[in-house]
Structures are given as C-alpha cells and as structure tokens.
Chains A and B, each alone.
Chain A
Amino acid sequence: MYSKKLARLAFGLLAEPTFKCTLTRSVSSRVNAVRTLCSWTVCLHHRRKNPLSEGLTRLNVRTVSQTTLDPAEVRKFQAMASKWWDLQGEFAALHSMNDLRVPFIRDNLLNVHGIRQLGKPLAGLRILDVGCGGGVLSEPLGRLGADVRGIDPVEDSVRTAELHSSYDPDLRERVRYQACTLEELAEEELEGFHAVVASEVVEHLADLDAFASCCQQVLKPGGSLFITTINKTNLSYVFGIVAAEQLLRIVPSGTHDWEKFVSPEDLERLLESFGFYVEAIRGMMYNPLTGAWSWQQSTAINYALHAIKRKEEPQPGQVWPESENLDEPGRATNYS
C-alpha cells in the first residue's frame, strides 16, 4: 500500500514540470501561491485519471502546499482519523466544544439573517467547514438546516465523516465532504458561502495570509467568518501544551506547536487587512474535570472570533450598514 502511495507521489511530482506551463495561464491572479496551485491541481488531474477500480483506497498522501499546510501536520492527523467519533476518545474535548461553537455560530448567523424556518434555524445558508476532520462540527450545523460543505486535506478523515453521516438521511442531503484544501475550493466557489467556519484550524497553518485571502474569496459580501483557536501566551503554553498534551492527555501529544498559535490581536489585524471587520472575540475555557467548555472573559488560552466580510471598499469615516440580503450579487472586491 505504501509503495503505491510513494509511486503516485513520485509520479505527481515528476509530472509537475509537464503541467506547469499550461496551468499558470489559467490560475487566477488573486491567489498568491501559484506554485501551491500547481502542485494541488496536479494531484487533482492525476486523481481524475485514475479509475475507481481500486475500490475505496484513494490517493492517501497528498502533496501539500508549502505555503499554508505543513506536511508534518497532515501526517499527524492521518493517524488519528479513525478515532473521530469515539465520544470518550481522543476527540472528546472537540465534541464537547460543540456546546460553545454551535450556539456561537448559530446565534451570530441568526442575528444577521433572522430565523429562516422553525426547527431548521439555519435553513438556506451555505456554510463551509474548513478542516472539518471527522465532521464533528459539520453534523450539528447540518442538523440545524444549513447546507454544509466540509473540507479537509486528510482523506481518511473525510471518509470517516462521510461514513458517519451516511446513516442519517437528513444529513446525507445536507452535509457534503470533500478532500481538498481551501485554495482549491477558492477557485471554484467564489463568493459562494454565507459563512466559513475554521475551528481549531488556524493554529495548524503555516501561511495565515493565504488562508485569510481564500476565506475572503469564498465568502459572500457580508458573510461571516468564525474562527476558534488558541492564543499565543505563556498561559496557553502551560495549559495548552504542557497540561493538555503531556500531563492530562486531553489532546494527543504533539498536536499543537506553540509557535503557530496566534493572538487575537494579530488575527484581528490580519483579518482587517483582508477586508473583514471583527465583530466579536470571546474567551473559552476547558475544564478537564467535567470535560466541559465554558465562556470566559479572558482570551488567554482559547478564544472564538466572529468576523464579517465587508461589503464595500473601506472609506474613512463611513458607517457600515447592517448586513442583510446576502443573496444579492455583491461587488467583488480585490484585495491583494
């Protein structure tokens, strides 16, 4: 199995020079990482060529963009893919975080859009779940009526997610998964989503600029971006790395790298520069004894952030109107 993977990888890399020239012409000028796109699209073409005769095994190792994802990170998650839905397992904290994340997303979207339908408050909204993993967050959002697209570069996770949601006819229709990266999706789905959710993802990325740029592209004007991540403080080192990973084993050891943590101020600054305005930042705290999360004042360890993509060019002194009627075609703004 591994020799096959290596062979495909080698083929992919070798094929790169052949495809490069044709691809650069078609690449959108908005995306900075041209090289990224080449390597990803190579894999895509490669996959399309491969027939389905090999049953369920697909290209498991993807060449990873060097500008947003770390290959080491991807390998790490592959090992964890099958344990996603064990509620008492390694991802228990992620499951219980839904008690904060789902209401946060739901309530903020309801504020903007109002209740669409009784029983399905998020009906008609398209949500993108970046780094969906096993679908832990995608499923509740789907149950609330939203059309959810979950993406994750790790195929095993996407498989797990698809399998888990396949039993429930409600979810089958509303939640779809795709094994790809955000850049890839950004090409196809310009301004296609009412909301993007990137929960516990930003701390694993190497290039936040590209991430913010892609989010900006896939969101409709006035659309919402929800991020939950870990702050870069001494406290977060003590609790997030030492306590969580090594002492209490809440998260598998080696999951997080403190260097990649982002403070809310930095994140806010970054998002503002890409045409978002940050609407809310709230601190979160995990209690290892009860296994429950709660909101707290301090953003020193975990925090959640809600940002909205600006509808028009920013002008000094202008008052921003309330976001409504997102389904109107917005003016595509170009931030480079």
Chain B
Amino acid sequence: GRSVAAISKTELLRVLYQQHGWEPSTSENELFDIIISGGGMVGTAMACSLGLEPNLAGKKILLLEAGHKKEMNRVPETYSTRVSSISPGSATLLSLGAWDHIVNMRCKPYNKMQVWDACSDALITFDKENLQDEMAYIVENDVIVAALTKQLQTLSDHVEVQYRTKVVKYTWPHPYHVSESIPWVQVTLANGKTLHTKLLIGADGPNSMVRREAGIPTVKWNYDQSAVVAVLHLSEPTENNVAWQRFLPTGPIAMLPLSDTESSLVWSTSHQHAEELLQLDEESFVDAINSAFWSNENHSELVETAGSLFRMALSVLMPDSGSARQLPPSVAGIGPKSRVMFPLGMGHATEYIRHRVAIIGDAAHRVHPLAGQGANLGFGDVAYLTKVLSQAAFNGKDLGKSMQHLLEFETERQRHNLPMMAAVDLMKRLYSTNAAPMVLLRTFGLQATNTLPPLKEQIMAYASK
C-alpha cells in the first residue's frame, strides 16, 4: 500500500511544479518561517527575542535591514543626540543578553522626574518611594542598536541577518487555500531575489512600506511642531539623576540626564521657532535654553493667584504631599555639531495584523516624544508578539495563518497603546496654549494629581510596562 501512495504524491508534485515553473530547490531554500523587515531598535529587538525563544528553535528566521551593520566596539567620546527613555519593563525584555551590553557601553538611570508648567506654578514630580530605585534609563539609540546587534551575533544559528538589503516589493497570498497559488508572502529584494515567508513582521518605521503595501488604513496627523535635539554641557557637575520637562506654550522642553556633566535636550516647538533655534550661535542657543527652563514671563497674575489658592486648599486636605520645586541645572555649552531637528506627528495603524503579516513599533504607532514612550511601546510589542508566536508554535500552528494568535497580539497591544497615545496627544494639545481657562484647568489638574500618590503610582506603573 505504501508504494502506491508515494508514487501518487510525487506525481502530484510533479504536476504542480510543471504548472508553475517552480524549482523545488529554490522554493525550499528560500522559504523562511519569519522575515522581519527593518533592523532598527524594534526590529533588531524582535529578531533577538525570537532567536532566544525556545519554542521557536529550529524555525528559519531572517532580519532584513537596508542600512549597514551597526557595530560599536568602543563607545564614542561624544554622546549622540538621539536618545530614548527606557522603562524597567523594556529593560527586562532587553535583559535577555542585550542589557548587559548596554550597561557596559553607556546608560544613565534616573530616579525622579519633574514636570511643570511655564504658565503657572503647577508642577508634578514622579519618583519611586525611596529615591534610591531607578525610574527609567536614558540610553542613546545608537547604543541600543549596537547592543542588540551584538546579541544577535550570538544567535547566528537561529537568526539570519542580511544588511544592505532593500525590499522593493511585497506580494500577498490569498487568505484561503487556493490551489495552484503560492500560499506564502513573497518579498522581492532590490538585487532581484525573491524570498518566501510564512509570516512577515513589519518593523520598518513610521513610513512603513509593509503597512502601506498591505493597505492597512492609518490614522495620522502632523503636529505643527518639530523637535530640536542636542547634547548639553552642564555648568557644573551634579548628581544628574532627574529628568526635567517644562511645558512652554510653544511646546515642551525636556532635559534628560546622560552623565554627571552632560544632558540631552529634546525641545518640541513650532517649525519656525525650531529653525530659528538651529540658526542661533551657540551662546544665544544656550541662553534660550536656560531662559526656557528658568524664566517666569508666561505667568499671569490671575493664574498665579488661583494657583496658589488651590495649592493652599490642597495642602489643607493632604498636608504631606506636594513637592518643593527644584530648578534644573544650568547649561553652559552644547556638544559639537549636535543640533538637529525633525518633524513630529502622530500615527496609528487601525490594524496591526493581516493574513501572514504583523506590524510592530513605529510602523504601528507613532507618538509625540513628550512622554518618552515611543521606544517602550515598540519593545512592548516585541515582548507580546514573541509570547504569542511561542504559544502558536507550541501548538503546532502555522505561524502566519493562526489568526487567533495574531488577533490576540493586536487586541492586547491596541488596548495598551491606544490609551497611552490618546493621553500623550491630549497632553500635547492641552499644553499648547496659554489661554487662561486651559491654563487654569491644567494647573488644577496637575496640582491635584501631584498630591495623589496612588494616582501617580498608577501612571508610573502604566508607563513602566
């Protein structure tokens, strides 16, 4: 009986191949289980995470990156301008090897965050109870990518990486089993080769080609703001473990610690103002920064009075809470050639998944940097998608076709990401004006929140995931 069955199957395959001009060798060599398109922070983290997952051992995984390999044997003297605030949750994800590399290279933990208004005295501080624990870490983006790349090299028998590889086209399969068609996603590269994969993960940034070609509708708008980033030299060395953010009417200005003598600047402001700032000479730029943090010119009498009255009322109700206002360290100079600007916008893909496709990181969601959450949301996507794919593999499922598991990823992450994005967007709009009613509203809101430790803990817990 067995010989008859074997012959008929070969016969079947021969007919199939003849009909499509397939060569068995090509389709077998180039069929991957997972292809990740985009080797930035989130894409490389995804590759590491999948490579370390025991239930996915033996699966063929490939990471495609258009740029060159980012290695860092020694950390450069000067700090780079693009940094991210890494929450403890993300640090846990990265702790699978990459975090050690980051710690060995360069990172700065901070224990406290002070956020205050330029139009009033309202302020809010976040810190862990005993000020000894770290709240989060400021890490340069280059360091993160280099650390992940180093980790990925140790996983070379699980994950293959192709650098300097650009994708020109994606071809999607039919969602249902149509005989005589290839059921996999086809990825066509600039060098003419075509790869097949059972699951495509798009980690290719805010202008994601995967998302666009899959036809996933995206809600997006541009803020009429750009962010100016720079590396600041402080006037004097200090135990630099506080993150500062002040909401000016034109936009938030943030100073994030990098070391005892240096901090990173992220100043979101109107396009015009941003360009002006870039044109200023170093001294004037430094003055602008100091004045932005220190001056009270935006205070109005009404708001000041109302604010202090409210604060007195609150101190009666909750005597112990409320923090003393501290002022950030003053800036003396900026790092050489370190001023850059980039436009800001918000974007959210309405779906994170399609048949045999999933998108993660900035490809799925793009936020304003004012809450420092962009990278963390991406790392959260990586952690959850890995978990879901691990479960699917352990149940013997076809990874790209198991809509049940992919939907679980989408639902869970949208549930987490959307409120965060809405809150960030709301904050941005709320603080973009100096009209008295809005100022009063946010003053009271901020002061009230500052006196409620449980609420602050909730906010911190949510942002730390």
Contacts and interface: CB of A to CB of B under 8 A. Distances in A.
Given A85-B177, A87-B176, A178 B12 contact: no
Interface stretch (B50-58, B79-87, B222-230): B50-58
A184 B398 contact: no
A52 interface: yes
Nearest to B399: A143
Nearest to A146: B396
B59 interface: yes
B15 A56 contact: yes
Contact of B9 (A44, A120, A142, A166): A166
A6 to B, nearest CB: 21
Contacts of A58: 8
B23 interface: no
Given A52-B7, A119-B55, A141-B396, A163 B12 contact: yes
B58 A178 contact: no
Interface string B377-415: 000000000000000011111100000100000000000
Interface in A314-336: none
Interface in B1-24: 1-2, 4-9, 11-13, 15-16
B9 A188 contact: no
Given A56-B12, A179-B5, A180-B1, A143 B176 contact: no
B288 to A, nearest CB: 56
Given A56-B11, A86-B177, A99-B395, A120 B58 contact: yes
Nearest to A166: B13
Q: How large is the interface on A (under 10, 10 to 19, 20 to 34, 35 or more residues)?
A: 35 or more
Interface string A117-158: 111110000000000000000011111100000000000001
B28 interface: yes
Contact of B395 (A98, A163, A168): A98
A99 to B, nearest CB: 7
B5 A176 contact: yes
Nearest to B395: A102
Contacts of B397: 98, 140, 143
Contact of B4 (A48, A119, A142): A48
B180 to A, nearest CB: 10
B29 to A, nearest CB: 9
A52 B176 CA distance: 31
A11 B31 CA distance: 46
B4 A47 contact: yes
A166 B12 contact: yes
Contact of B16 (A99, A119, A166, A178): A166
B199 to A, nearest CB: 13
B410 to A, nearest CB: 17
A140 B396 contact: yes
Nearest to A167: B183
A126 to B, nearest CB: 14
B458 interface: no
A162 interface: yes
Nearest to B53: A119
A210 B54 CA distance: 42
Contacts of B177: 85-86, 164
Interface hub of B1, B4, B27, B57 (most chain A Cβ within 10 A) = B1
B35 to A, nearest CB: 16
B73 interface: no
A118 B6 CA distance: 30
Interface in B134-184: 176-177, 179, 182-184
A184 B55 contact: no
A163 B5 contact: no
Contacts of B31: 168-169
Given A85-B177, A166-B12, A140 B1 contact: no
Interface hub of B9, B31, B404 (most chain A Cβ within 10 A) = B9
Interface in A275-313: none
A159 B12 contact: yes
Contacts of B394: 106, 121, 144
Given A86-B176, A169-B31, A179-B5, A162 B396 contact: no
Given A44-B1, A47-B4, A87-B176, A143 B12 contact: no
A93 interface: no
A71 interface: no
A84 to B, nearest CB: 9
Contacts of A143: 393, 396-398
B1 A188 contact: yes
B329 to A, nearest CB: 51
Contacts of A98: 395-397
Interface in A76-113: 85-87, 98-99, 102-103, 106
A43 B278 CA distance: 86
A178 B2 CA distance: 7
A190 interface: no
A87 B183 CA distance: 15
Contacts of A44: 1, 4
Nearest to B29: A169
A47 B184 CA distance: 35
Interface hub of B2, B6, B15, B57 (most chain A Cβ within 10 A) = B2
Contacts of B179: 163
A185 interface: yes
A178 B1 contact: yes
Contacts of A103: 395
A168 B397 CA distance: 13
A184 B58 contact: no
B56 A162 contact: no
Contacts of B393: 119, 143
Contact of A144 (B7, B198, B396): B396
A183 B48 CA distance: 49
A177 interface: yes
A184 B5 CA distance: 14
A230 B293 CA distance: 73
B57 A119 contact: yes
A162 B176 contact: no
A85 B177 CA distance: 7
Interface in A206-265: none
B2 A169 contact: no
B1 A119 contact: no
A305 B411 CA distance: 34
17 contacts: A52-B11, A56-B11, A58-B8, A86-B176, A99-B404, A106-B394, A106-B396, A119-B54, A120-B58, A139-B396, A140-B395, A142-B396, A143-B396, A162-B12, A166-B13, A169-B31, A184-B1
6 smallest beta-carbon distances between A and B, as pairs: A140-B396, A119-B57, A119-B58, A118-B57, A143-B396, A85-B177
Given A140-B397, A179-B5, 6 more contacts: A52-B7, A103-B395, A106-B395, A118-B58, A159-B12, A167-B182
